[in-house]
Amino acid sequence: MIKYAVVGIGRMGHIHAMNLYSSMVDGATLVAVCDIDDNKLKRFKLSAPEVLTFGNYKELIAIDIDAVIVATPHYQHGEITRYFLENNISVLSEKPQCVSITESKLINECAEKSGALYGIMYNQRTNPVYARAKEIISSGLLGDIRRVEMVVTHWYRSQFYYNQGGWRASWRGEGGGILINQCVHQLDILQWLVGMPKSIRAKCKTVNRSISVENDVTAVLEYDNGAMGVFVASGHELSGTNRLEIAGSNGKIVIDDFNLKFIQYAHSEVEVNACVTAGYGEVETTVERISYSGEYRDRDEKYGQQLRVVEAFTNALSEGSQLIADGKEGINALTIINGIYLSNYINQSVEIPFDSNQYDQVLTKLKKGEEK
Ligand SMILES: NC(=O)c1ccc[n+]([C@@H]2O[C@H](COP(=O)([O-])OP(=O)(O)OC[C@H]3O[C@@H](n4cnc5c(N)ncnc54)[C@H](O)[C@@H]3O)[C@@H](O)[C@H]2O)c1
């Protein structure tokens, strides 16, 4: 039985803790929870009296636990993750890995040295439409990737949401806006499917909200093989879109919301272009469609897609099976996010890898700007 503690029992951590407590995860049990808010601990104790409660995460190493789920606000992810990995206790961290790639590198070094397992909550990788896209691309069916377009405008957040305050939507509280909070999921999916860009040129804006961080982003991404990508995100469109198009030399993947369409060419575009004797060209195609639906999706809607990541993490600990996402991969989406913020700030293209200290200096200035 894998013995868990959950650090941070706010909205997300409470769901993780209750799933573990109510035996939703085979082979796992909840031993303890930790939060700096004593009222949350008291409330939790009422529904789970035998679970130990702590106000300081450092005290958890004195009890018998195998793994910790870190579900605090982003700025604490790095410090808490490193503490447990250094003490050889496995960590499943909520996204984002942390706020800056300088810290991400420190965590990754620590994970390399630790004998414990490190995973990250990239639950959208369990969505069958993205998992199928990954298979199609990895198996070479799509051919060379030529163009990528991701439009993520379905994370509508009102001024009322922001007025609730707390750590959200500020440079000081979470190190950014829609990108680091919501879109980190999609940016992980993007890099998981097509790899890292070699350069980024981006503009970030704040549209119709009184917040100091962005809720509107357009980024142009360039890849090593010459492919170009466009990433668009917004949190102010009432009829938002969640769409990904990846065009390759042998076909095209279109994921619209929870539906995947894979158009596969009978001959690659290179072959078609070499043969046609007219100004235009056509090719026979086959079309595959799958949806994120049915019982699989019903379960996710009931208990949270994140439960699948906790299950996989538990199995990885007990049987050595594969993680949904290695925690060290958290640096990739974070690099794109820091790169977008840096490009916007300096109003220039950013080559990857870039100097993480340069981004840290920008972040410090952005935080200072909020003090006025
Ligand atoms: N995977 C997902 O889809 C998903 C969804 C929602 C939130 N999250 C992530 O989960 C994290 C928490 O988000 P939330 O919405 O639950 O926030 P929240 O503010 O509701 O909860 C955070 C909790 O952490 C506690 N906390 C703060 N510092 C602490 C510390 N040093 N030690 C112990 N407890 C501490 C707070 O008191 C609070 O109870 C964020 O990083 C967020 O990005 C992930």
Which residue in the block uniquely carries the two structure tokens 């031993």?
31
Residue type for position 1: M
Domain with CATH 3.40.50.720 in the chain: 2-121
Segment 279-302, tens digit of pLDDT: 888 999 999 999 999 999 999 999
Query: Measured from the CB, is residue 95 less than 6 Å from ligand 1?
Result: yes
Contact between residue 366 and residue 171 where contact means Cβ atoms under 8 Å apart: yes
Beta carbons within 10 angstroms of residue 5's beta carbon: 26
| Residue 246, pLDDT score | 98
Number of Cβ atoms within 10 Å of the Cβ of 63? 12
Q: Cα torsion for 89, 94, 95, 100, to the nearest 10°? A: -50
- Report whether 187 contacts 339 (CB < 8 A): no
Query: Taking a C-beta distance cutoff of 8 angstroms, is the pair 165, 256 a contact?
Result: no
Does 166 have pLDDT greater than 90?
Answer: no
Tell how far the Cα of 77 is from the centroid of ligand 1, in angstroms: 9
The confidence score (pLDDT) of residue 340 equals: 98
pLDDT for residue 63: 98
Q: Given pLDDT bands bounded at 50, 70 and 90, which one contains residue 164?
A: confident
Atom of ligand 1 nearest to the CA of 305: 3
Q: Tell me the CA–centroid distance for residue 22 and ligand 1, in Å.
A: 20
Whether residue 372 has pLDDT greater than 90: no
- The answer to pTM > 0.75 is yes
Distance 165 CA to ligand 1 centre (A): 14
Residue 156: band (very low, low, confident or very high) from pLDDT cuts 50, 70, 90: very high
List the CATH code of the domain at 125-300+332-369: 3.30.360.10
Which of 243, 218, 240 shows the shortest CA–CA distance to 231? 218
Could you please state the CATH topology (level 3) that the domain comprising 2-121 is classified under.
Rossmann fold (3.40.50)
- Whose tokens are 């992980």? That residue is 188
Mutate to test the pocket of ligand 1, among 15, 42, 72, 189 (most ligand atoms within 8 A of CB): 72
Question: Where in the chain are all domains bearing CATH 3.30.360.10?
Answer: 125-300+332-369
